[in-house]
């Protein structure tokens, strides 16, 4: 038996966070969403107080990550997640306003699973989020490394 | 070192050289002269001694003649007679020799005349004495001899001779002093000359050393100046690069950060739109359906009167907001793209310009046909440059030429090229609507356009083109009049290489 997937959303802009959440819900995804507005708190939640990530052992996580955070770079968070043995199996979806090909390339190199440029066009955005929702429901997210 | 200093230094060197030469020449001449002088002096000293000797020799012969005569007078032996005769015979040649030696020295000439007169007298007396003895009158001869002795002929001879010797001794002293002076002079001349030469040599050495030092100093200063210049250039280049990077970063961050709130605005506007539709549907449902009646699909209930008006106003407001957001998004994207272009590294490659332009022209063939425009490509020089950048430059300009033609006039676009001083000059001219000269600067500014705004566009193309041309190390200009067509001129280096600009990126 697998645990239900928890969605960790790391997004400093509350408006964006709200829009993302709404559209995820609208797509019919009802998984628990845990939101963080800065990198430090998110890191604390993901890696625990000891910073080992042992706390998340066995939990199924899906991480939505914004690259522009006030306190640290999303790239760093992505790198640390993918280097941690308990977290590296969790899919990471990078959500950002940048569509710089260099940055996209770098994210994929670091192991990001999906890179979505936040479109201003609401319809496209909703569509992207909906697809993300489909992605959540179809893909069996593997539990964090045991 | 200034030219004036150099000239002065050269002058001094020539002067020194000349002075050295003069000193050497005068020393040589002086030495020759003085040596001759000394030789003359010595000759005269020798001459004096010879004269003295000759006087003494003459006196000796006179004495011998006298003693011979006396002996003969006393003894009548022929031995004495013979002796006397020999001496008398020697007297005249000795006197002649002395006269020759004396030459024309006036003082001695007088003495010699006296001497020779006295000797002649004495010789006469001798002859008479001998005759008297021969005739057997010895007493007469003795009387003559004693008369000669007492009357002073002999004494006169002695005194005149000794006066001559004294005169010669005086001359000897004078001439010795003169000879000494000549020698001293020669020695001091040589000494002074050598001293001068040594002094000149020292001055020359000093001058040479000074100029060598000056040259070394100048070299050091030149090297320092070069180093300073290079450092300054490096610093300025670094500053410029930094400033440029900062502008790029600034543009990037600003446009990037502007996007973030825009996402919210757009997102929540759409939410509002949805919400508004729901609200008006509900209003329609509440007003259009009689209470207690069967449920009706709210979407199908038409609004009426003021409700319909409200719904239209609401949609219109949202429509303006949405289109403005879309426009803003396009502008931000354009800035982002520009900054991204500014950071792209160029790859120079050889480009067959004619093929290259033909490819661009064929890609706009459809638009050209629609605008009834003909595109003529004249011979073009090949260049080495970044293909992508050139493609953007030319397609933008050709696109513009076709886009802004005069309505109802068949278009004619001409692409010309030539080379000049390592640069290729391309001209893209059209017979279109033209650009007012007051707008010539403005059209190259970002988001600015000119003329009738009847064609879609963001005002990005020319700004982008000019930025690219500049990055390729070229320049760009426009010449145009309203309604008289436009000519855009692009000057690009024939061979662009990464080192002229990419190194600065």
Mind listing the pLDDT tens digit for each residue in B239-257?
988 888 888 888 878 877 8
Among A54-63, A130-139, B434-443, the minimum mean pLDDT is found in A130-139
Name the 3-class secondary structure at B420: strand
CB-based contact B256 A98, cutoff 8 Å: yes
The pLDDT assigned to B405 comes to 86
Distance CA A125, CA A138 (A): 20
- Of the candidates A68, A98, A121, which has its C-beta nearest B266's C-beta? A121
Tell whether the model's pLDDT for residue A41 goes beyond 60. Answer: yes
Residue B489: band (very low, low, confident or very high) from pLDDT cuts 50, 70, 90: very high
Beta-bridged to residue B487, according to DSSP, are: B429, B479
- Of the candidates B256, B262, B271, which has its C-beta nearest A120's C-beta? B262
Task: Return the C-alpha torsion angle B346, B349, B353, B354, nearest 10.
Answer: -130
Buried b / exposed e across B299-313, counting CB within 10 Å, b at 16+? eebebeeebeeebee
B337-373 pLDDT, tens digit per residue, is 777 777 777 888 898 998 999 998 888 888 888 888 8
Distance CA A73, CA B170 (A): 125
Query: Tokens at residue B225, please?
Result: 């100046």
B28-54 pLDDT, tens digit per residue, is 888 888 888 888 888 888 888 888 888
Contacts of B291 (CB under 8 A, 6+ apart): none
CB-based contact B256 A118, cutoff 8 Å: no
Instruction: Calculate mean pLDDT across residues B224-231.
Output: 92
Distance CA A57, CA A143 (A): 8
Does the beta carbon of A19 lie under 8 angstroms from any beta carbon of chain B? yes
Q: Are the C-beta atoms of residues B55 and B168 closer than 8 Å to each other?
A: yes
Contacts of B333 (CB under 8 A, 6+ apart): B255
- How many residues comprise chain B? 505
Which of chain A's residues have a Cβ under 8 Å away from the Cβ of B277? none
Tell whether the model's pLDDT for residue B302 goes beyond 70. Answer: no
- Of the candidates B260, B271, B326, which has its C-beta nearest A13's C-beta? B260
Tell whether the model's pLDDT for residue A126 goes beyond 70. Answer: no
The pLDDT assigned to A1 comes to 36
Residue B501: band (very low, low, confident or very high) from pLDDT cuts 50, 70, 90: very low
The pLDDT assigned to B426 comes to 93
Contacts of B195 (CB under 8 A, 6+ apart): none
Task: Using an 8 Å CB-CB cutoff, list residues of chain B that contact chain A.
Answer: 256-257, 259-264, 266-271, 325-326, 329, 336, 340
Tell whether the model's pLDDT for residue B192 goes beyond 70. Answer: yes
Angle at A100 between CA A94 and CA A103, to 5 degrees: 55
CA distances from B177 to B47, B170, B185, B474 (A): 15, 11, 12, 97
CB-based contact B267 A16, cutoff 8 Å: yes
Distance CA B492, CA B505 (A): 19
The pLDDT assigned to B504 comes to 42
Tell whether the model's pLDDT for residue B505 goes beyond 50. Answer: no
Q: Testing the interface with A: which of B255, B258, B261, B263 to mutate, by most A Cβ within 10 A? A: B263
Does the beta carbon of A88 lie under 8 angstroms from any beta carbon of chain B? no
Distance CA B27, CA B15 (A): 18
Contacts of B413 (CB under 8 A, 6+ apart): B368, B373, B374, B375, B376, B398, B401, B402, B428, B429, B430
Residue B503: band (very low, low, confident or very high) from pLDDT cuts 50, 70, 90: very low
Which of chain A's residues have a Cβ under 8 Å away from the Cβ of B329? 120-121
Query: Tokens at residue B269, please?
Result: 């506007």
The pLDDT assigned to A97 comes to 79
CATH fold of B345-500 reads Heat Shock Protein 90 (3.30.565)
Name the 3-class secondary structure at B480: strand
- Of the candidates B262, B264, B340, which has its C-beta nearest A100's C-beta? B340
- How many residues comprise chain A? 146
Order of strands, edge to edge, in the sheet holding A6-10?
Answer: A33-36, A6-10, A61-66, A92-96, A114-117
Distance CA B95, CA B157 (A): 12
The ipTM, to two decimals, is: 0.77
B389-420 pLDDT, tens digit per residue, is 899 899 999 988 988 888 888 888 999 999 98
**pTM of the full predicted structure?**
0.51
The pLDDT assigned to A129 comes to 65
- Pairing type for strands A114-117 and B475-480 reads unpaired
Which of chain B's residues have a Cβ under 8 Å away from the Cβ of A11? none
Q: Are the C-beta atoms of residues A118 and A95 closer than 8 Å to each other?
A: yes
| B139 vs A17 pLDDT, higher one | A17
CB-based contact B264 A68, cutoff 8 Å: no
| B501 vs A102 pLDDT, higher one | A102
Does the beta carbon of A13 lie under 8 angstroms from any beta carbon of chain B? yes
């Amino acid at each position: 038996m697998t645990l239900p997937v928890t969605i960790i959303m790391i997004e400093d802009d509350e408006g964006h966070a709200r829009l993302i959440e709404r559209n995820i819900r609208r797509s019919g995804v009802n998984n628990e969403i845990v939101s963080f507005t800065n990198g430090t708190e998110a890191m604390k939640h993901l890696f625990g107080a000891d910073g080992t990530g042992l706390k998340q052992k066995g939990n199924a996580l899906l991480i939505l990550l914004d690259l522009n955070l006030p306190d640290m770079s999303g790239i760093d968070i992505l790198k640390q997640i993918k280097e941690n043995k308990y977290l590296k199996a969790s899919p990471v979806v990078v959500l950002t306003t940048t569509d710089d090909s260099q940055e996209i390339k770098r994210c994929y190199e670091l192991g990001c699973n999906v890179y979505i440029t936040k479109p201003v066009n609401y319809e496209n955005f909703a569509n992207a989020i909906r697809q993300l929702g489909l992605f959540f429901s179809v893909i069996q997210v593997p539990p964090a490394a045991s | 070192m200034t030219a004036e200093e150099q000239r002065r230094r050269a002058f001094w060197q020539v002067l020194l050289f000349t002075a050295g030469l003069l000193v050497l020449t005068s020393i040589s001449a002086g030495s020759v002269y003085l040596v001759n002088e000394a030789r003359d002096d010595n000759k005269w000293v020798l001459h004096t001694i010879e004269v003295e000797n000759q006087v003494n020799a003459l006196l000796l012969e006179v004495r011998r003649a006298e003693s011979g005569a006396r002996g003969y007078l006393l003894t009548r032996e022929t031995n004495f007679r013979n002796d006397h005769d020999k001496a008398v015979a020697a007297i005249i040649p000795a006197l002649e020799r002395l006269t020759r030696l004396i030459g024309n020295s006036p003082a001695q000439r007088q003495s010699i005349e006296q001497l020779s007169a006295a000797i002649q007298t004495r010789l006469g007396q001798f002859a008479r004495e001998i005759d008297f003895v021969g005739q057997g009158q010895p007493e007469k001869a003795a009387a003559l001899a004693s008369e000669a002795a007492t009357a002073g002929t002999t004494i006169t001879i002695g005194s005149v001779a000794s006066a001559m010797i004294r005169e010669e001794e005086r001359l000897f002293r004078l001439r010795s002093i003169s000879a000494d002076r000549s020698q001293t002079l020669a020695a001091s001349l040589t000494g002074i000359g050598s001293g001068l030469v040594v002094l000149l040599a020292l001055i020359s050495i000093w001058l040479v050393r000074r100029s060598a030092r000056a040259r070394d100093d100048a070299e050091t200063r030149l090297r320092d100046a070069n180093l300073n210049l290079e450092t300054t250039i490096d610093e300025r280049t670094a500053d410029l690069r930094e400033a440029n990077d900062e502008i790029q970063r600034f543009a990037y961050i600003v446009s990037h950060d502007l996007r973030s709130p825009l996402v919210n605005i757009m997102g929540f506007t759409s939410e509002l739109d949805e919400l508004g539709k729901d609200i008006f549907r509900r209003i329609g449902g509440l007003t259009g359906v009689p209470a207690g009646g069967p449920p009706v699909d709210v979407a199908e209930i038409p609004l009426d009167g003021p409700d319909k008006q409200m719904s239209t106003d609401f949609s219109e407001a949202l429509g303006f907001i949405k289109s403005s957001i879309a426009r803003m998004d396009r502008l931000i994207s354009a800035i982002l793209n520009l900054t991204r272009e500014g950071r792209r590294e160029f790859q120079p490659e050889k480009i067959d310009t004619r093929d290259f332009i033909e490819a661009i022209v064929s890609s706009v063939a459809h638009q050209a046909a629609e605008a009834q425009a003909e595109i003529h490509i004249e011979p073009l020089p090949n260049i080495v440059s970044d293909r992508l950048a050139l493609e953007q430059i030319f397609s933008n300009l050709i696109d513009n030429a076709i886009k802004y033609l005069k309505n109802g006039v068949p278009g004619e676009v001409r692409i010309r090229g030539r080379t000049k001083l390592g640069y290729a000059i391309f001209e893209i001219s059209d017979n279109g609507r033209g650009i007012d000269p007051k707008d010539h600067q403005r059209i190259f500014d970002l988001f600015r356009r000119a003329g009738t705004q009847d064609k879609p566009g963001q005002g990005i193309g020319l700004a982008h083109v000019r930025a690219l041309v500049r990055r390729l190390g070229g320049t760009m200009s426009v010449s145009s009049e309203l309604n008289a067509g436009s000519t855009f001129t692009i000057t690009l280096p024939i061979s662009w290489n990464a080192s002229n600009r990419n190194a600065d990126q």
